[in-house]
Amino acid sequence: MARALGLAITAFDGDSITLGAPLAPNVNDKGCAFGGSLASLLTLAGWALIMLRLREADADCDVYVQDSHVDYLVPIWGDFTARAEPAEGESWDAFFASLATRGKARLRVRAVVRTPEGAPATTLEGRYVALRCAH
């Protein structure tokens, strides 16, 4: 799916990740970004953020989306990026402490696609679950 979307990681700083996608393979019949592509990019941004943090911590886990909510605020008429970071009140320390003691952890993530002017265009808040692999 990532290949079909034309997805690329454009930034990762440990606390947030930004994924980009071109409009051309993600355009709808109106000429703007397809809602399914926006939701997919936002969902993948949250997943990738957690996966990269787990890899940095050398934690072998599977990551799942437990639930999510997407709001479509305005159309996107060009290439777009999604930035994901932990939602307000979430803590990487608490996430990794839970993973260490219970073998699983949850983190709420907020991801946003913005207009060229910087206003939110599409937002996602999702809860992701990491489960330690039992190899």
% pLDDT > 90, the chain: 95
Instruction: Give the residue among 30, 32, 36, 29 at the shortest CA–CA distance from 5.
Output: 36
Report pLDDT for 2.
85
Say what the pTM is.
0.95
11-16: Cβ within 8 A, 24+ apart: 11/83, 12/49, 12/52, 14/53, 14/56, 15/85, 15/86, 15/92, 16/49, 16/83, 16/84, 16/85
Domains (range + CATH), the chain = 2-132 (3.10.129.10)
Mention every residue, 6+ apart, whose C-beta is less than 8 A from residue 53: 14, 92
* Token representation of residue 115: 């207009």
The alpha carbon torsion through 82, 84, 89, 93 (nearest 10 deg) reads -170
% pLDDT > 70, the chain: 99
Helix (H) or strand (E) holding 74: none
Average pLDDT over all residues of the chain: 96
In this model, does residue 135 exceed pLDDT 80? Answer: no
Report pLDDT for 134.
79
- DSSP reduced 3-state for 29: coil
pLDDT tens for 10-54 read 999 999 999 999 999 999 999 999 999 999 999 999 999 999 999
Cβ distance 35 to 82 under 8 Å? no
In this model, does residue 4 exceed pLDDT 70? Answer: yes
Report pLDDT for 1.
80
